[in-house]
Amino acid sequence: MFIKALNSILNILKRVTLVSLPPMIKSRILKLLDYLFVLRPTLFFPGWTIALVGAYAAKRFSDSWEPLGLWFGFIVFVLYTLTMGAVYLINNIIDRHNDAANNKVFLISDEYIPPRRAMLYLTGILALVSILALLVSVNLFWWFAGMFLFMGVAYSVRPFSLKDRPVGGVFTSFVSGFGLFGFGWYLYAQSGGLQFWWYALPYVLAWVSISMLTTIPDSYGDALDEKETIAVALGLSKTQDYSFILLGLALIFSLLTWDWVIGITGLLALPLYTLMWRERSIQSTLRVIRWGVSFLSFAMFFVFPAYFVACFVLFFLARWYYRGRFNLLYPTWRTKSE
């Protein structure tokens, strides 16, 4: 019902907005938007969500929670988003040949944006984030620097390339899960200690569960490129099994921490995991990936109403962009078989 209502609103908006622009102006706008969508903004949703659940957990469980100023919060949100974009951009540049094999992220692989220009763009983003973060807080600068160096450079760039090794990929997921949750937590709380690790654990287990599944759709191209991701190393079935186990652990720890957010959203995802385990298909895996993160995002809409606005605007803009630029229906919750 929710998805049908959302699609109805989107269809109405399509008739009254940018779709009616003259073709030449529309084409120019779409080409300019290449520089937004090369940052893979549809992947901002998981990064935004894990930070927000960290902030909400700090509000509920921390002894040192303090409210965040509106303008400070907005600036931090923008800088955090740009840093995520930089992480995805360096990954796109490094993986452009592999992306072509997997028929995805083709803005750089098909040279809509040449790699050299993408590197200049990346340098500009990093310079902007660094300057603004230093003006706001030195601690923020080190957060964003660490985020880019670990999730961007160590994850994607040789000789590190943690994503191309089964243990390295899982390790990166754990560290990034704790790091992004911690970013949200420490924005609101002055301290954490064992309290932070305890309440972060169920979310991080769920985060790693989904992260493992994301290696399955790309496993064919990764194997051709001689990359040993977790899905290449273990195969589809075992990767799904370990992911299912991690979800079970997340649900157990949600009871131990008495955290309704991860508990309810995990239970909502459980039937999809069960169906994936029975079907053993890429389509069922994609369904878990798309809905698993979405359930947690929907929960945050009630806690942070402004987050719903940001997601709605980005979702609509992405639908219009991908339809107009590549004639694709994206983003979508549907898999190819549905």
**Cα gap 201→208, rounded to integer Å:** 11
CB 213 within 8 A of CB 289: yes
- CA–CA distance, 274 with 292 (Å, rounded to integer): 13
| The pLDDT of residue 67 is above 80 | no
* Winning range, highest mean pLDDT, from 8-17, 226-235, 238-247, 313-322: 238-247
What average pLDDT does this structure show over 62-80?
83
Residue 16 banded pLDDT, cuts 50, 70, 90: very low
Q: How far apart are CA 48 and CA 296, in angstroms?
A: 11
| Res 14 pLDDT > 60 | no
What's the confidence (pLDDT) of residue 95? Answer: 84
pLDDT tens digits, 262-279 = 999 999 999 999 999 999
Which residues are CB-neighbours of 193 under 8 A, at least 6 positions away? none
Which pLDDT score is estimated for 100?
Answer: 64
Mean pLDDT of the chain: 89
| pLDDT of res. 234 | 94
Q: What is the pLDDT of residues 114-164, one digit of tens each?
A: 999 999 999 999 999 999 999 999 999 999 999 999 999 999 998 888 988
Is pLDDT at 217 greater than 50 in this prediction? yes
Q: What pLDDT was estimated at residue 103? A: 65
List the structure tokens of 289. Answer: 């990936």
183 and 80 Cβ atoms separated by less than 8 Å: yes
- pLDDT score at 192: 73
pTM: 0.89
* Bridge partner residues of 189 (DSSP): 65
pLDDT level of residue 189 (50, 70, 90 thresholds): confident
pLDDT above 80: residue 296: yes
Q: Is residue 165 pLDDT above 70, yes or no? A: yes
Q: Assess whether pLDDT exceeds 70 at residue 105.
A: no
d(CA 329, CA 47): 22
State how far the Cα of 115 lies from the Cα of 38, in Å rounded to an integer.
11
Residue among 196, 180, 187, 183 nearest 293 (CA): 180
Give pLDDT, residue 13.
52
Residue with tokens 């943690």: 162
The Cα 17–Cα 264 span in angstroms is 37
Token pair, residue 135, equals: 């003006």
Tell me which residue has tokens 């030195």: 138
Spatial separation of the C-alpha atoms in residues 212 and 32, rounded to whole Å: 33
